[in-house]
Structures are given as C-alpha cells and as structure tokens.
Amino acid sequence: MRLLTGRIRPYAWGSRTAIARLQGRPVPSEGPEAELWLGAHPGDPATVDGTSLTDLIAAEPERVLGGAVVARFGPRLPYLMKLLAAAAPLSLQAHPDAEQARERFAAGHPSYVDAYHKPEMLVAVSDFEALCGFRDPAASAAELSTLDAPALKPVLAALAAGDLRAAMADLIALPSAVVAEAAAAPDAPDLVRRLAAAYPGDPGVLVALLLNHVTLAPGEAIWMPAGNLHAYLEGTGVEIMAASDNVLRGGLTPKHVDVAELLRVLRFEVLADPVVPAEPVSPGIVTWRTPAAEFTLHRVRPSAGAVELAVTGPRVVLCLAGELAVDDGAGAVELATGQAAFAAAGSGALTIFGAGEAYVASVPA
C-alpha cells in the first residue's frame, strides 16, 4: 500500500473551498478547484512517491494491474476516480458507447480524444444537484409551456407526440435571443432563471427542462451510461468512471460544443428513476450496483475495530473523513482526511481501521 497524490483540475466552475478544506489547505484557494483526479489517465495521472502511476503501470503492467486486468483492458488502469466539487453549473453533456468511441477516434473526429467509452457514476458527499436523463415528456411540456414563447410550439408538439429526439433538436437549435426572451418570462421556472444567469442565451438553459432535476442526499448516486444527457449543477461528490475523457457537450459551457455529434450519440429514452441507492455489503461497507465492467465503488466506515474489504486487483482508496489505516498485506499506510493510497494487484484484501470514511475503487472480479 502506497500513498497516492492526485492532481487538481482548475476548471472555472470549481469550488474554492471544498477540496481545499478537505485537504486542510487555506480556504478559499487561490483559484477554482473542480476535480481531484486519482488514477492513471494520461491527461493528469496521479503520482506514487513522485512517479506517475501511468509510468509505474507501463514499467510493470502485470504486477501493478494483474494478469486478468491486462488481458481484458490492456496495460492501463481501466477506471478513474475523482473528487468533484461544483460551485456553478457545468456542461450539458453525454459520452459515447465503446463502439462509437473506437470508430470516431480511429476516424480522427476532433471531439474524440481517445478510443474508450466513459460510463460513470457520481456518489454525493454533500447534497448534490444534477440533471440526469430525459424525463417524462409531459412533465417537460408542462414547464416549457409556462414560458409562453411562440418559438417553442414545435417543441411542445414534439413532446405531445413523445418525440424526444425532435424536441431536443429543436430546443438546442434555438437562437440565443429567443432563449433569453423565454428565460425572462414572468413564470419561468427557477431552474431556467438560474441557468440563464450563468449562461445567458445558451439553448442548454431550456434543454435542462427535458431532464430529471434531482438533488442527491449524501450517499445517493446517479449512474450515467453511454448516451445519457446530464449536467452537474452544484455540490461535492465522488465520481468513478471508465478511464476516458471523451465528452460531447451541447451547452452550458465555454468549452468546445459539438451539437451534431451529441445528437448522434444520445439515447432518446426516458430515465424514470436516475437515483441509485447505497446497498449494504457487510457491517461498515456499502456499494452502488452498476453494470460497469471497469469499476466498482465501495464506501467503508470502520466504526469499531478493523473492516476487511475483499476486493483485489489495482485499488485506489480515498479518505474523506477522519483518520484511517489501510493494509493490503504488503504494508500499511495511514491516511488523513483528503489523502489517498494505491494498492497493486499483487497484494491481498484490504483491512481498514480507524475512525473515518473511505471510498475504495476497484475492478470487478
């Protein structure tokens, strides 16, 4: 078991308090801190004793990852864990499936930065507000109709027919002046007003009304498979995903937007219940079930004595509260709040003890 030092991404929507406070640094931080990356993604790999985890894997993939992981995913850590801290809304986005990613990356499509898909799950650490998946078209129509905008008539007709594809295509193509006028309507929903204040004239302001608007309590999660349109609005959470950075954005961002490709990969189906509850595994341990082949995520709270988590392979452990000791059979490390550790595949099951809370990422057996 070895200490792992993550990398902070300073996106503009990030918090200046959440990650800094967690790590015991001065608050507010000098700039926004949006994500703490804990993995081996080449975009910003974490380090072990000053050496990139990517380089450690490249030097000894079988020892670090294990033969089964290498055989299935190649010599790469197949997941990426993040601590995400959103102080402002961030991009309306979706991710491609595995076949789409391979094909479009091989073809040199500019919106694809690697050949991998990116299913992901976010577990709330604080109350966490998000938009996730298309909701019942009738509910969307009811809110959009309060805007009393003639330009929305085709959208309302599409929703009445249950045609999410047409409604989405019409909304996201609206001119900024039309969006701004609709968002300024006296009866505009609070969500529309808030998003319009952050991104005036952005069509994503109205597209948001097509989606489930959820507020997660700590410990609740949302699962975002390929083609699921979503956006984070505010809060802190632990995010785990397949190790990719393929993001197709449609709005609510100053970053590159590719509406045509986003519409191509979206799944236009209603997501009735986007919230994934925690499931007990054993005393002090819970998990969140997803069909992801690349990752599992457990939360461990050793209230009394030691807790054994019987997961093997390459594992990342993040301490989010208190002080913990983690032993993988090859050596123990002590973690304070905000610190992380890495266990290679060759070591044994994890034993965690102390007073605190840890999130553990691993590859499913």
Binding residues: 93, 95, 120, 230
Question: Quick one: 24 exposed, middle or buried, by C-beta within 10 A (0-12, 13-18, 19+)?
Answer: exposed
At residue 9, the 3 state secondary structure works out as: strand
Q: Determine which helix (DSSP H) or strand (DSSP E) holds 221, and give its type and residue range.
A: strand 221-224
At residue 133, the 3 state secondary structure works out as: strand
* Cα dist from 168 to 9, 136, 196, whole Å: 31, 13, 18
Of 169, 44, 37, 167, nearest to 113 by C-alpha is 44
Residues of each annotated binding site for Zn(2+): 93, 95, 120, 230
Give the max Cα distance, the chain: 67
At residue 259, the 3 state secondary structure works out as: helix
Residue 151: what residue type? Answer: A
How far, in Å, CA of 303 to CA of 241, rounded?
28
Of 1, 7, 17, 21, nearest to 338 by C-alpha is 21
How far, in Å, CA of 10 to CA of 330, rounded?
35
CA angle at 122 for the pair 356 and 351, rounded to the nearest 5°: 35
Decide if 76 is catalytic.
no
At residue 237, the 3 state secondary structure works out as: strand
Q: Which two tokens stand for residue 142?
A: 């009811």
Of 50, 112, 51, 41, nearest to 80 by C-alpha is 41
Q: Which of 76, 249, 299, 315 is flagged as catalytic?
A: 249
How far, in Å, CA of 315 to CA of 147, rounded?
49
| HSE of 149, CA atoms in CB hemisphere, 13 A | 26
Q: Which two tokens stand for residue 306?
A: 């030691």
Tokens 């999410």 sit on residue: 164
CB 244 within 8 A of CB 95: yes
Q: Annotated catalytic sites, by residue?
A: 249
